[in-house]
Amino acid sequence: MPETTSSPPFDLDRIRRAVREILLAVGEDPDREGLLETPDRVARMYAEVFQGLHQDPRTHLKKLFTQRCDEMVLIRDIRMVSFCEHHLLPVIGHAHVAYIPNGKVVGLSKIPRVIDVLSKRPQLQERLTEQVADLLMKELDARGVAVVIEASHSCMTIRGVQKPDASFVTSAVRGGFKENLATRTEVMSLIFGARR
């Protein structure tokens, strides 16, 4: 189960000093006009894009509504932005999340909020997909959960192999989606069928 770290809030001064050192290390002049405020900008950006490190995604799943519903609930095309933990470069894509309620449903905005918290950390897409599925399965007491994430990784599109059209797809299925092939086929058809 994903939890917040016990580390203190962001040390902006330390980030500023580190960014200044990086600029010096690559042969730049951090005192020139265009770079003078860059360490501060980068520090504030890191505090924003990694804010999920200091947030608990479970807080968004505390309020559930009693609802007799035993059919699939799907939220498709949830935009997500994360940072690859290997290169600290952006990962941009969409998450698709389905669950089969067990007598309770969660508000429509809560699942995208969970995605935001978990993605705003240095991440691996594989781990993010598993974290979302496990968290929803437990906190919603769902009969099944399916999570599919499709993303473009800057570490693969702008450097290294440089394949800008490649997308990375991961999935995690739990409960009824794992045990029942027809249910799994239905959710994948609902997620991807409209594109064919």
Q: Residues within the annotated binding site for Zn(2+)?
A: 84, 87, 155
Query: Considering 28, 51, 69, 87, which one is annotated as catalytic?
Result: 87
Tell me which of 84, 96, 123, 131 is the catalytic residue.
84
What is the residue type of 168? F
Out of 54, 69, 155, 186, the active site residue is 155
Annotated binding site: 84, 87, 155
Rounded to 5°, the CA angle 11-13-15 comes to: 70
Q: Are strands 73-84 and 122-123 parallel, antiparallel or unpaired?
A: parallel
Active site residue 69: no
- For the question of residue 85 being annotated catalytic, the response is yes
Annotated catalytic residue within 21, 37, 86, 179:
86
How many Cα atoms occupy the beta-carbon half-sphere of 179 within 13 Å? Answer: 7
3-state class of 115 per DSSP? helix
Query: How far is residue 35's CA from residue 61's CA, in Å, rounded to a whole number?
Result: 42
Choose the catalytic residue: 60, 139, 150, 153: 153
Specify whether 84 is catalytic. Answer: yes
What 3-state DSSP class applies to 142? coil
Q: Of 125, 131, 139, 150, which residue is the catalytic one? A: 125
Q: Catalytic site residues?
A: 84-87, 125, 153, 155
